[in-house]
Structure 1
Amino acid sequence: MNYPLLFDQEVVHQIRRRTVQMDKTGTMPADVLEIIYQRSLFKCFMPNASTGRMTPLPEVLRVFEDASRIDGNFGWVVTIGSKAGYLAAYVEPHRLQEIYDGRDALLAGSGFTSGSAKRVPGGYELSGSWKYCSGSDHATLFTFNSEVPVEDNPTVTEIRTFILRPTQVTITKDWDAFGLRATGSHSVTVENQFVEADMTFIMFNTNQKVLGDIYSYPYKVLSETSFAAIAIGIARHLIDEAKAIAEENREAWESSHLNRYEFVMDRIERKQETLEEAILNFYHTVDSNWTRHIEGADIAREEWDLVSKTCRTAARVALDCGHALFPFLGTSVVLEHNVINCVYRDLHTACQNALLVPFDEEELTQVK
């Protein structure tokens, strides 16, 4: 696939013109969603036979990065929507068409286990509340995890995933976040809703219906690489905007302070160089790991850990671009209607994901 054709300059400008609006309103406009639908960007992990556009992980990560470089909200929603295709490996085959066939098909939900479920004739009854359900504003279905007593041993519970229709849920618009405000990452509540047995499944069980290489790739690592690609893309957008601000203010900066423009541009270029090195290492590590995975190699835990660490490193370097550049760009950037202000906050919000945070002093020191 020729991914540059997905995001030509006209598309880039169309979406970026909406950046401040999306940040202010907390919603994604219909014309931006239409770009996603037209390019089947929610179907990157769906088999072609199921109206998908199955894409190898290294390629789709670059799509996530490019989408996030255009706009963080756009990239986040594209990524979350695509990752929902991973569940196709576990969904009952006769339900695949209902769940994934629509051009606007999007499964929103939460990775957290919450609520309560009980077995009833024909299925389950589910209640509970789940936070951070990205894409909830325009989801066609919702997925939630909850513990259920094992059928033949009620003293033991299993974590089961439930698929519900929009009419079965209540969305509480409480995503008043620092950034990524248009991702619709609201809380969703379910009250005593019946879920058919074949609209539930257990992830990672031994009866996994593998449809392609992506479905046997560890979901945690898939999530880490996806979120790291978002951080990389947003950081590149921040550098784009920083350069534009420096050029726009060059004359004023040079007249008020002899070295200000040169100082800021040098700082931008050095941070860009550091970011590009981290990006190169990120893709080298992931591409190599993916190649070994599809070849059926017996991948040791240490190699998976290296991929995870590389994701965290890339995200920390991306976040440092914001810390290192934002203070030097002038007073106007603190205003929320300034594009780089939106990008800066989106970058922080994306990197707040726990999968990208190194909870280890030694690793933090290495990143610095």
Structure 2
Amino acid sequence: MDISYHPSTQLQADCIGIIRRTAPLAEQARQLLPQQLELIYQQQWFKMLVPKQYGGLEMDLNQEVRLIEALAWADGSLGWVITLCTGAGWFGGFLDEQFAQQIFADRSVCLAGSGAPTGTATVTSNGYVINGTWKYASGALNTTHFTANCKILEDGQPVLNQHGEPLIQPFVFKKSEVNVIPAWAYIGMVSTGSHSFEVKNVVVPPCRAFKIDAAFTKVSRPLYIYPFHQLAEATLAANLSGMAIHFIDLCRDAFAEKNVSKNLKPEQQAELSSVLLSSISELNLVRESFYMCLDQSWSDFTIANRASQTQNLQNVSLASRALAKKARQIVDELYPYCGLDAARSHSELNRVWRDMHTASQHSLFTFSV
């Protein structure tokens, strides 16, 4: 039994070769390498969700998610950086048009950032004064701009929204306005360079603020009306799925080698085969359900079918969590059968295992609802 619609079909063989060859070196460097970045720029992977009017690809969301899964299958760290920076590129649909045109004209444009509201933006006569520190900005070492959420202050007091809560808005900063703080010291996703960053007393004009809300989109097309929450859930779940499939592929080779080198008993060989086939079957079922939900939900927005939008968005959320959970469970079930090579810090099996167990800690998948 094979993985259905294997992610490898989404990528050209030469792209896969470059990504796989450079992945161990990128981990040693603790950041993406120039060769990897050049491939990303050539393929416009950071611009997958950028509006076409700014030179982006503006891909259909369900196709972008499939490509994201393939990139995470090729390498977890590279796929993760592309996912997070592509998600920030989607903000282009909500930015001031003139400002967006300037940002995305750069072939190497990459927006890293954070959704945590750990900064403040003080209203002034000509814009805002920004201060704050944010964590976990994947791609911080190769970005051109940062985005971050800030609580709005005026005359030293929080500005409240229509619900009486502190008003929070995202802002865009130039790389030169930001201080990157080396802080990524985790076992996996090493080459993402997901460091912290800070902004101190930076004055920004009003055009640098934006609202992530379909009512405020500057590009009135389905991609920028689709809710960001489900977009994030689907793309991150696809990352975990891609890493799990990479692990399964490696296990297939490792199990075949073990059958030969360890002179396993027939019942041991049967157990290896059974656990591998069971893992593939289980993942196939959950992936099929995930992509069915995603395709249906995306179709709602492309044909403006408002009647089923809410239910199908909920289905995407549930299917994303189910896929993330199953991907993690499968990797954990297969791991003990891989032998000590899976625990060797420089092995590919170990790198994928570490990437999976780091990426799966994302807060979106902590709880089932």
Query: Which ranges in structure 1 are unaligned for 5 or more consecutive residues?
Result: 361-368
2:210 maps to amino acid: F
The answer for the alignment partner of 1:91 in structure 2 is 95
Residues 227 and 356, structure 1, Cα contact 8 Å, conserved in 2? no
Deviations 1:42-66 (A, max 9, x none): 1111222211111101111110011
CA offset at residue 9 of structure 1? 2.1
Deviations 1:283-340 (A, max 9, x none): 0111011111221122354432221011000111111111110011111210110101
Give the structure-1-normalised TM-score.
Answer: 0.91
Deviations 1:267-291 (A, max 9, x none): 1121011101111110011101111
The answer for the alignment partner of 1:331 in structure 2 is 340
Q: CA RMSD in A?
A: 2.0
Q: How far apart in 2 are the matches of 1:300 and 1:242?
A: 39
Of the three residues 283, 288, 296, the one matched with 2:291 is 283
Residues 123 and 154, structure 2, Cα contact 8 Å, conserved in 1? no
Identical columns (%): 28
1:170 maps to amino acid: N
The answer for the alignment partner of 1:31 in structure 2 is 35
- SS for the counterpart of 2:216 is coil
Query: Which ranges in structure 2 are unaligned for 5 or more consecutive residues?
Result: 1-6, 161-165
Q: How far apart in 2 are the matches of 1:300 and 1:59?
A: 19
CA offset at residue 150 of structure 1? 6.4
Deviations 1:195-216 (A, max 9, x none): 1221122322743323421111
Mark the CA change 1:155 to 1:111 in structure 2 (over 3 Å): closer, same or farther: closer
The answer for the alignment partner of 1:272 in structure 2 is 280
Alignment of 1:1-368 (within 5 A): 7-149=11-153, 156=160, 157-204=166-213, 206-253=215-262, 255-298=263-306, 299=308, 301-359=310-368
2:148 maps to amino acid: F
CA offset at residue 134 of structure 1? 0.9
CA offset at residue 356 of structure 1? 2.2
CA offset at residue 350 of structure 1? 1.8
Q: How far apart in 1 are the matches of 2:175 and 2:309?
A: 41
Mark the CA change 1:47 to 1:100 in structure 2 (over 3 Å): closer, same or farther: same
Residues 113 and 147, structure 1, Cα contact 8 Å, conserved in 2? yes
Q: How far apart in 2 are the matches of 1:174 and 1:261?
A: 44
CA offset at residue 155 of structure 1? 5.1
Residues 19 and 342, structure 1, Cα contact 8 Å, conserved in 2? no
Residues 19 and 339, structure 1, Cα contact 8 Å, conserved in 2? no
Mark the CA change 1:112 to 1:154 in structure 2 (over 3 Å): closer, same or farther: closer
2:273 maps to amino acid: M
Mark the CA change 1:4 to 1:270 in structure 2 (over 3 Å): closer, same or farther: closer
Deviations 1:57-106 (A, max 9, x none): 11111100110110101111111121112211221111112211211100
Q: How far apart in 2 are the matches of 1:92 and 1:332?
A: 51
CA offset at residue 6 of structure 1? 6.6
CA offset at residue 25 of structure 1? 2.9
Which piece of structure 1 moves more, 7-16 or 74-83? 7-16
Q: How far apart in 2 are the matches of 1:308 and 1:28?
A: 30
2:43 maps to amino acid: R
CA offset at residue 12 of structure 1? 1.3
Mark the CA change 1:244 to 1:63 in structure 2 (over 3 Å): closer, same or farther: same
The answer for the alignment partner of 1:365 in structure 2 is none
The answer for the alignment partner of 1:366 in structure 2 is none
Q: How far apart in 1 are the matches of 2:90 and 2:106?
A: 16
Mark the CA change 1:87 to 1:231 in structure 2 (over 3 Å): closer, same or farther: same
- SS for the counterpart of 2:132 is strand
Residues 110 and 143, structure 1, Cα contact 8 Å, conserved in 2? yes
Q: How far apart in 2 are the matches of 1:27 and 1:261?
A: 40
1:202 maps to amino acid: K
Deviations 1:9-54 (A, max 9, x none): 2221221122323333321111011111100011111222211111
Residues 23 and 179, structure 1, Cα contact 8 Å, conserved in 2? no
CA offset at residue 263 of structure 1? 2.1
- SS for the counterpart of 2:113 is strand
Mark the CA change 1:155 to 1:25 in structure 2 (over 3 Å): closer, same or farther: closer
Q: How far apart in 1 are the matches of 2:23 and 2:128?
A: 41
